[in-house]
Amino acid sequence: MSNYTDEHWMNMAYQRAQKAMECGEVPVGAVLVKNNQLIGEGYNQPITSHDPTAHAEVIALRVAGQAIKNYRLVDTIMYVTLEPCPMCASALVHARIAKVIFATQDERIGACGSIFDITNNALLNHRVEVESGMMAKECRELIQSFFIEKRKHNR
């Protein structure tokens, strides 16, 4: 079994975010790990796929579910470059993810503690451990540079 660090996995998520940016998507990347093995990965694709649910986290969950042939993704860790939105945080709860580690907070729609706290809502039947801040500066700068470029071209 591999013995990769959290930093390794977050760097992999960051690389997926860069791929999203190359495709003209908001640069968010996610990887899902079980027993220190990659089982799912994704990057934002709602624009190119014409699918409002094609967020990095949802794509990673779909890939992982197919890989392990189960919709319950217990004992897994999601690494994502931006705090999950309410849709994605709900998906993490439904999939029974053990932990989400995100890089930077989403101060407009974050649902893992910033604006909402879906992952730790006592009314729900599952809670997801949350950790944040790893590679926050790099991931925040990537998103900011994406929107700066977008504004330049929309003038």
Q: What does the pLDDT look like over 32-55, one tens digit per residue? A: 999 999 999 999 999 999 999 999
Q: Which of 92, 75, 72 is nearest to 30 (CA)?
A: 92
The pTM (predicted TM-score) of the whole model is 0.95
Instruction: Please answer whether residues 19 and 13 qualify as being in contact, where contact means their C-beta atoms are separated by less than 8 angstroms.
Output: no
Q: Say how many residues make up the chain.
A: 155
Q: What is the mean pLDDT of the chain?
A: 96
Number of other residues whose CB lies within 10 A of the CB of residue 70 = 12
Q: What is the predicted pLDDT for the residue at 2?
A: 66
Alpha carbon distance 106, 82 (integer Å): 6
> 81-110: per-residue pLDDT in tens?
999 999 999 999 999 999 999 999 999 999
Backbone φ/ψ region at 96: left (φ over 0), alpha (ψ -120 to 50), beta:
left
CA distance 61 to 112: 17
* Residues with catalytic function: 57
Q: For residue 56, what pLDDT band results from cuts at 50, 70 and 90? A: very high
Q: Rounded to an integer, what is the distance from CA 38 to the centroid of its chain? A: 14
pLDDT at 91: 98
Question: pLDDT tens digit string along 3-30?
Answer: 899 999 999 999 999 999 999 999 999 9
